[in-house]
Amino acid sequence: MILAFDTSNYTTSVAILDGSQIVVDKRRLIAVKQGERGIRQSDAFFQHMQVLDEVVESIEPYFDALEAIAASTRPRPVVNSYMPVFRAGHGVAKLLSSALKLPLYCCSHQEGHLYSALRDKTMPQSFLFLHLSGGTTEIHRVDQTTDGYQLSPIAETADISVGQLIDRVGVNSGLSFPCGQQMDDRAVRAALAKAPRFKAKTQFNLSGYENYFNKCLREQPAEAVYYHLFMTIEAILEALIKLAIADSGLSNVLLAGGVAENSYIRNELIKNQAAIGCNISFATSRYASDNAVGVAEYARHMRRHYDS
C-alpha cells in the first residue's frame, strides 16, 4: 500500500492505494470566509495541519501494510516553483516515512493531476495536457519517458488563471468561494455579447476579463453572465489548443483540474473538437479536482520502474 498527501491552496487530500485499488480517498476543502476571493497561505497551512492531524489518526490501522509514502511538494515541476501550503503534507509525509522506515516519493501538484487523470485514460506516447485549476492555466506537451512523463510548457497565463477568473466573478456576484460548481449549476443559456478578443500566445493575460465580466454583472442577470463567462473561457481554450497543435504537431489532448469539470466548457469542447482538429479526453470528475490519488499513482509508477 502507498499513502499519499496533497495539500494545495484549496484542498487537504489524503489517499491510500493498494495496487491500483483506492482504499482511502479523503478530501477536505479549505474554508474561506464569505466574500473573500481566496485565503492566505498561512491560514491555509493552519487548516491543513488541523485536518491532517485528524486524518492521520483515522488511517493508523493501515500503517503496518504500508510500503511507501508520497507527497506533493510544489505546484509545478520547474525550478523555483514554491508554495508554503505544500509543506504541510510534505512535512507529515517525511515524519511518517522516518518513523515507519518507508521510502518517500515526491512530485509536484501538477504531476499529481496528470497521473490521476491517466488512471482510466489511455493516451499515446506523446500528447497535450491542458491543466485548468484554481491557480493554473497551462498547456504542455507530455512525452512518456522510461521513468515517467516529461512535461514541456507551451503556453501559460502570465497573471490570473481561468479558475481564479471564475471564482472572482462568482464572489463578486454574491456566491461563496469556491464558486465553480455553484455557477455551473445556476448558469442559464443566453444571447452572448462580444467579449474582449483573445490572442493565443506562449504568455497571455486574463485579468482584463475579470473587469469585463464584473461590468456585465451590473447590467445583466448573474446566471446569464456565468454562461457568457463559460463560453468565453471555452473559446480561449480552443485558441490555446490550436496554438499547441501548431507548436507540437500533436492532436490528442488531455484536460484535468477543477475547471475541467465544468459542464458547459466540457460539452462545448467535445462538440467542437473536430473543428479544432483534435481528440479531447477529460479526467473523470472524481480525478479532475485536487486529490492525492495522483500523487500515490506517481509513487506506484516510480516503484514499478525502479523495482523492475
Q: What average pLDDT score do residues 90-106 get?
A: 98
Q: At residue 301, what is the residue type?
A: H
- CATH classification code of 2-114+290-307: 3.30.420.40
Would the pLDDT of 147 be above 90?
A: no
Q: Exposed, middle or buried: residue 301 (CB in 10 Å: 0-12, 13-18, 19+)?
A: middle
pLDDT for 135 equals 87
Confidence label for 304 from pLDDT (cuts 50, 70 and 90): confident
- For residues 70 and 4, is the Cβ–Cβ distance under 8 A? yes
Would the pLDDT of 1 be above 70?
A: yes
CATH fold for the domain made of 124-282 = Nucleotidyltransferase; domain 5 (3.30.420)
End-to-end CA distance of the chain: 18
Average pLDDT of the chain to the nearest whole number? 96
Would the pLDDT of 306 be above 80?
A: no
Enumerate the domain spans of the chain.
2-114+290-307, 124-282
pLDDT for 134 equals 85
Domains 2-114+290-307 and 124-282 share a fold: yes
pLDDT for 177 equals 94
Would the pLDDT of 288 be above 70?
A: yes
Question: Which residue, among 162, 272, 139, 264, has the nearest Cα to 213 in the 3D structure?
Answer: 162
Would the pLDDT of 308 be above 60?
A: no
Condensed to tens digits (0 to 9), the pLDDT of residues 8-52 reads 998 999 999 999 999 999 999 999 998 898 899 999 999 999 999
- For residues 2 and 300, is the Cβ–Cβ distance under 8 A? yes
- For residues 233 and 165, is the Cβ–Cβ distance under 8 A? yes
Condensed to tens digits (0 to 9), the pLDDT of residues 162-217 reads 999 999 999 999 999 999 999 999 999 998 888 999 999 999 999 999 999 999 99
Condensed to tens digits (0 to 9), the pLDDT of residues 225-270 reads 999 999 999 999 999 999 999 999 999 999 999 999 999 999 999 9
pLDDT for 289 equals 92
Rounded to an integer, what distance in angstroms lies between the CA atom of residue 281 and that of residue 138? 16
pLDDT for 194 equals 87
Confidence label for 305 from pLDDT (cuts 50, 70 and 90): confident
Q: At residue 19, what is the residue type?
A: G
Confidence label for 91 from pLDDT (cuts 50, 70 and 90): very high
